[in-house]
Each structure stands twice: as C-alpha cells, then as structure tokens.
Chain A
Amino acid sequence: MQKKAFSFFHNNRASLIVLFALVLLPFIVGLFEGASPIVVWENQGGISKFVEGLGIEIFILALYALSYDLIFGVTGLLSFGHAMFFAVGAYLTGIALKSFALSLPAVIGLVFLAAILQALLFGLVLPRVKGITFALVTLGMASMFHIIVTSSELGNYTGADVGLQGVMVPSFINPANERLRFYFVALVVLILIYLLYQRFVNSPTGRVCVAIRENEGRAKMLGYNTFAFKLAALMLSSFAAALAGVLHALYQPIVSPNVADLSFTVTALLIVLIGGVGTLSGALIGAFVYRLLDFGLRRYIGENASFITGTIYVAFVLFIPYGMVGTWRLKSFRVAQGWRRLLAAFKT
C-alpha cells in the first residue's frame, strides 16, 4: 500500500513539482518584491497580484484549449465553432448575474444545462456532415451566435458589440479583492478537469474516441455506434469550455464578443498545435507558452507583435509538427529505445 502510494509520487514527480511551484508562485513572487506571504495572502501585493492575474488568464485559456484538444486532438472532430462553447458559458454567467441576479451555484447549474444543449446542437448535425463540412456547419452556428450577441436588439443583455460589462461578481470570489482565492479556484478547476480528461482518454469510451480519430469506418465496423461516442466527447468538451467561459466572465471586467469569434477558435487550435495535438498536457503547456509569448511580444514589441507570432506558428508547423509535448515524447521514446539497445548489447 505504502509502496503503491510512493510509486504514484515517483511516476508523477514532474507534474507534482509543477503543481507545487504553481501553488507557491504568488508567494515567491511576493518575496521578490519584499512582500511577506501574509501580505500576499491578504491580496495586497502589487506584483504578485499581477502574476496571479496572468496565471488566472493562463488557466482559463488552458481549460479552454484542453476542451478543444478533447474533440479535435483525441476524437478527431474538426470544429470551427468551439469559441461558441466558451462564449455561451461566459455570456450566460454574465447575463444571469447581471440581469437576473442569480446565485453562483444556480448560474453554474444553468451553464451545465446549456453546455449539454449546445453539445446536442453540434451533435445533431454529426450524422449528416463529416470532416470539413462539419467544420463549416459549426462555423456557421458559432457565427450565428456571434451575430446574435452583437446584435443591437439584445444590447440590453449582451452589451452588443461593446461587450458585457458591469457583472456583479460574488464578493467571496471577486477577482479584485480575493484574487488569490480566484487563482486557486481556477487552478483547482483546471486540475480537476485535466484529471477527468486523463481518465477519459484511458477509459473504454476514450479509447473508442481515439479509434474514431484514427479510422472511423473501421470503428463502426467493429461494432461501435460512433455517433454516441462523438456526442459523449462533445458533451465533455462543451462542459469544460463553458466552465472556462464562466471563469472568464467572473474574472474579466468585460466579456467581449471576440470570444465568440472564429479567431478565438483559431486560438484554441494554435495552442493545441503548439503543445501537441491529442496530448492533453500539450494544451496546458501550449496555453502557458501562448499567453506569455503574446504578453511579452505585445509589451516589448508592440503593435507588430502578431507578425512575429504568425511567423512562430508557421515555424512551428514546419519544424515542430508534433508540438512541444509530442516532440518531447517522441524524443524520450527514442532515448529509451537507445538505452534498451545499449543494455541488450551488454547482456549478450
């Protein structure tokens, strides 16, 4: 029993170290500035508060990218409407809090229902359209949603093309006063979803999803009703994306309609690509790299930053096609193989 627990720690030591570092990060940053952990704990630190903010943004982005990796990387469904999954969560939260003054648990329940509904909506078309046509249909649905939230008719609720502002965030999680708590909440949500997804990929359902990505016709022939599995993946993905949207609406002072845009779906695609398609952990690392790159370039280079980001993507596609995690795994695979060969030579 004890040994088992130990091997768990041993096998996951890298992840655990990262987790530990993330927990300590706000305090360590605070120390650099001379702020004691207590000051940080009471949300008074300047720079540590800023780092917490950046961390929260990265967690939200990572959660969103993770949900895209599940349908795109694992199940092989190319959707151009993924931003809608996120935006529905964000807008619903904002509107429910602002215009209907619902409590947070009620909001999350509502978002959960909406997540199921939108996954069903996307799933509805699955039996009819495949591949690139599915991408176009989902793009169409997401554009409609984008148009609806930007239309002036609903301006009272959605804020039209300016975006949704003035959301009253419950005080116990208000990012202005309780940022550290928000930081940990976002971190915990991200980790929970990540663990759930890891389990999913290694579950009977997840394995069938991978099979669908590899060769859908064959999976059908083996006796799987592939539609049901794709729908399951969509549901799980929609749920996590909507949750990311909830956090976004709570954290950001304004929910811009840009989060319903095609370019936001492309952001997810880029993150997944940077990290490694279908690896899950790639989505986390990708979000980290993406956000920091974006932040750094904008800060130090300014307006022309997206030229450099664009170039980096092109370079990624051409030279690191398996993403950071994918390439790392391949390499370590080869290293392990090399070791084995070497040892085998000694044996004989």
Chain B
Amino acid sequence: MNAFFRKNLLSAATLIVILIFFIAAAQGMNSQDFVITFLRGLSVGAVTFLVASGFSLIFGLLDVLNLAHGTLFMIGAYIGWTVFVRPDTFADLLTPFALILSGFALRDMYPLLSARVRLGLRMRRILPWALIIVSVLLLGLILPRYPIAGWNLDNYAESPVTYSFMASQGTPLPPPTATFDQISPALAIGGLLLASLFGSFGLFLFDQSVQRSPRLSWRSYAGFVVLLLVGLIAFIFNSALTAFLLGLNANWLFFIAVIVATLSGAGLGALMEATLIRPLYSRPIYQLMLTIGLSAIGVQIVQAVWGRPEFVMPKPTLFNGSGASCPATSFSSWWQGNCSTILLLGGRVRTYNEIFIPLIGLLVLVAVWILLQRTRLGMIIRAGVQDREMVEALGINVRRVFTMVFALGVGLATLGGALAAPSMGLSNAMGESFLLNALIALAIGGLTSYPGAALGSLLVGLIQQFIIKYGQIGISIPFTSIVLKPTPPIVPASTVLLMVIILLIMPNGLLGKKE
C-alpha cells in the first residue's frame, strides 16, 4: 500500500494541481459559459481519444509509431462524407472494390499454387514483378473507363462544396448516371477480377517466408466467393441500391456512412500492416519514415480526389432540426423537434457536437475497454504490450494479432474522422492537428496506457477549450486591473507546455508504467 502510494504520488499531485487550475478556471466564468466550454472540451477530447487510443494500441503492441494516423483520421472523414452525401458514388464503388479485394481472400490457396509453379530461379524472381505490373496495367486500363458517378473538382457546380450544400438543404442533386466508356461491362468485370488475382498472387510471392502447409477447406474459398457475389450483386442491382440509399432516412444513411468509414479504415489498416509495415519490424526507425511517407501520400490522394478547399458534411436529421420548438429545453422536446441545439443551464449547446460526440466517445471507450479486458484477443494484446517476447514464446500467432490491432487502431481513427466531419468540417489539415493532439494526449497520459489515452485526451480537450474561451472573455489577474487575453497560438502552446512539463516530471506520463 505504501509503495503503491509513493509510486503514484507524483501522478496524484499533478492531477490535483490540474484540478485546482480547473476549478479556478470554472470560477472565472458564468455557468452557461462553463457548461458550453466544458462540453466542447469533452467533444474535442472524445475525437482526440479516438485517434489517440488507436495510436497507443498500435504503439504499445507493435512498437510502431504510426505517424500516418492523423492522415487516416482525415481519410475516414472523407469516406464518411462520400457515403453520406454521395451514396450513388458509394454504390458505384462497391463493385470494383469488392472485385479488387477478392483475390486477396484466396491467400490460403496461393502456397499450393506457388508450389505447383515450377520455374527457374530467375523466373521466380521476375514472376511476382511481372504479375504485379500486369495487374497494375489492367487496373489502369479499366478503372478510368469504369462508370463511377462522382464530382468534378474543376466545376464549382459539381464540386464537393456544392453537393454538401445541397445535401444540407435536404435536396441532394440528382446524380448524373455514368456509363461504360468504350469497354463492355463483362470485359471490365473480368479484367478487374483478373487484375486482383494477379496482383494478390504477385504480392504473395514476395512474402516467401510464410509457407504454411495449406489445408484447404470451404473457408479458403468463402471470402472470395462472398466478395465476388457482393461485387456482382452490387453491379446488377446498382440502380436499385442507389435508389434505396438515396431514399433512406438521413439518420440511417449517416449510420451507414460511419460504419463504412470504420470498416474501410480497418481494412486499410490491415492492408498497410501486412504489406508495408511488416517487412520493417526489425528496423523501427524506418517504420517511422515509412509512416511519414504514407502520410504525405495520403494527403495528396485526398487532395487529388476531394480537392483542396474545405467543405462541410451535413449533420444527420436527428441533430439538424430548427423548428419552432427549438432550441430544445429538455431531452424530450429535443427528441420531438430533432433540434440542433439544446438549452442546458442557460447555455445553448449543440446536440451533435457537444452531446452526441462525447457520448459516442464514451461508448467506444467502454467497448474497447471490454474488448481488452474480457476477450481472448484483448488478453493477448495486453500481455503483448507488457512483454511481446513472452507472448511470442507462448506460440500465439502474433502476426495475426498484429494485423488485427493495426486494423482496430486505424478503424478507430477513421471512425473518429467520420464522426468529427459534421462538427468540424473537412479539410486537408485536419489530420495533422489531431495527430499532434493525440501525441500530446498520449505523452501526458502514458504512451502505451489505454486509460492514459483517455485521461490525456480529456485533459487536452478541456484545456484547449477553456483557453479559447478565456481568449474571448479574458482573465483578470487577481489584485490588478490587467485583463489577459490569450491569443490563438497560445492554445496549442498550452497543451504542448503541459506535455513537456509532465514528461520531464514523469517520463512515462501520468498513467504509464515504469520501465
């Protein structure tokens, strides 16, 4: 008990100091300002947490400092926007994506296949490259001709900004239907499938280290068949699906958008880990470089596809009402009017930003906590964070766990992005600022500690919002008549300063383990 107390004395003292500051800050403003600022802090904290928790899981288990995490967060926002505002584009994209991925689902078959292929050493070297080049060529030929209803960055009337505006008005533009361009549909679909098979087999051939004895069962084909079916069905019933999605209630559509963003983030994460990160586990510093490079590439892709200007994503109707009964005075009146704001303790609080997002943050916090504490996977993850060699020695397939954790981490980030998009808008720079936030939060809370990620994010969110608020109302310094107004750059400075101080007192953060 005594030892425990002594070990946590510093953390406790720091928390008490922060608490005192917090109380002092609360004293300095009236209750409605306080409520709003507090809830805003929670909101920023929740989004930061979604980025930070995934980052920390990945760092803790894999020792990979994923500096592309912010970019992935941003990509999540853009994916969410696409599904929500342009469901027709989403429906069009389903087929090519499912087909391209389908080849990778056959990976259990490839060892068998590669054992069959009897080639000389030189051919063996060339083959994977040849396959990949053919695959890339096929994709390059087909994809530009494949009909995907999209937007046009060069034409303002068809730009994301306009589509967002129209969607927020409740009248989505009737999408221009695209048709195949000089290519027959059957050829296009066959070509995509072939490209996928070639590409995945080529990539597999690079990774010669895993030659598990293949035992084929129906599972080996199931993934492939499912993806193929999804692709074909989405293709045949494309117009029906589009009509269905367009006719859907905006709340459900939003829900779908968030789910799609999360899942595609998870997929992206798994892909990233398996193809790019994995070869570099023995060279940690290069992983860092790799993630920096990927981050730059990600930003460029987003700029190329969605453009550079900022735009917004409409809120789901549940939080978008502004009828006669708004702002709501109680939760029941909010439920009736779907008001975008609600009066709490005299303050007008935005329901989506300041109530919904913190709630979702809390939900994710609890869900991942349960995952970590109560499931086998969670147990392996926790053990792995403590001592990776040990887990490897126990003969657990760490590779698969690594991939899953990476997928989980990136999924959390893209979930955060999709959720944050309606409240803070989409911009090419949103990833960077939240990556910095998350880094600070983790440094404060402890780099590999899950509760630490939560605590750190909360502190970062609250401190930033309170300082912004004080920048508006000014701090009157006691016993003087000076009113200090912190300017905007002080906001990041304050949290950075807190980070440096805490790291110097406690290099492992508030809740981090001693090494």
Contact = CB atoms under 8 A, between A and B. Distances in A.
Contacts of A143: 436, 492-493, 496
A153 interface: yes
B67 to A, nearest CB: 9
Interface string B493-515: 10011011001100110000000
B268 interface: no
Given A269-B289, A317-B280, A310 B503 contact: no
Given A128-B504, A140-B503, A147-B492, A133 B443 contact: yes
B297 interface: yes
Which residue, A152, A266, A309, has most C-beta atoms of chain B within 10 A? A266
Nearest to B494: A147
B496 A144 contact: yes
B507 A128 contact: yes
Nearest to A80: B439
A314 interface: yes
Nearest to B282: A321
Interface in A295-348: 303-304, 306-307, 309-311, 313-314, 316-318, 321
Question: Could you tell me the dominant secondary structure of chain B's interface residues?
Answer: helix
Interface string A53-64: 000000000000
A151 B285 CA distance: 33
Contacts of A318: 276, 279-280, 290
Contact of B296 (A136, A141, A309): A309
Contacts of B478: none
A283 B490 CA distance: 35
A152 B304 CA distance: 34
A321 B503 contact: no
A217 to B, nearest CB: 12
Contact of B297 (A139, A140, A307): A307
B247 interface: no
B44 interface: no
B489 interface: yes
A148 B504 CA distance: 21
Interface string B297-309: 1011101100000
B445 to A, nearest CB: 12
Interface string A76-92: 00100000000000000
A136 B489 contact: no
Chain A interface mostly helix, strand, loop or mixed? helix
Interface string A147-165: 1101111000000000000
B496 A140 contact: yes
B35 interface: no
Given A307-B297, A310-B296, A314-B293, A151 B492 contact: no
A133 B503 contact: yes
Nearest to B275: A318
Contacts of A321: 283, 286
Contacts of B142: none
A64 B88 CA distance: 50
Q: Which 9 residue pairs across A and B have the least CB separation, nearest first?
A: A307-B300, A313-B293, A310-B296, A310-B297, A140-B500, A314-B293, A147-B493, A129-B507, A317-B290
Given A141-B500, A143-B496, 18 more contacts: A125-B503, A128-B507, A133-B503, A133-B508, A136-B443, A137-B503, A139-B439, A144-B496, A150-B489, A151-B490, A269-B289, A273-B286, A277-B285, A310-B297, A311-B297, A313-B289, A314-B294, A317-B280
Interface of B: 65, 276, 279-280, 283, 285-286, 289-290, 292-297, 299-301, 303-304, 436, 439-440, 443, 447, 487, 489-490, 492-493, 496-497, 499-500, 503-504, 507-508
10 contacts: A137-B504, A151-B489, A304-B300, A310-B297, A310-B300, A313-B292, A313-B296, A314-B297, A316-B289, A317-B289
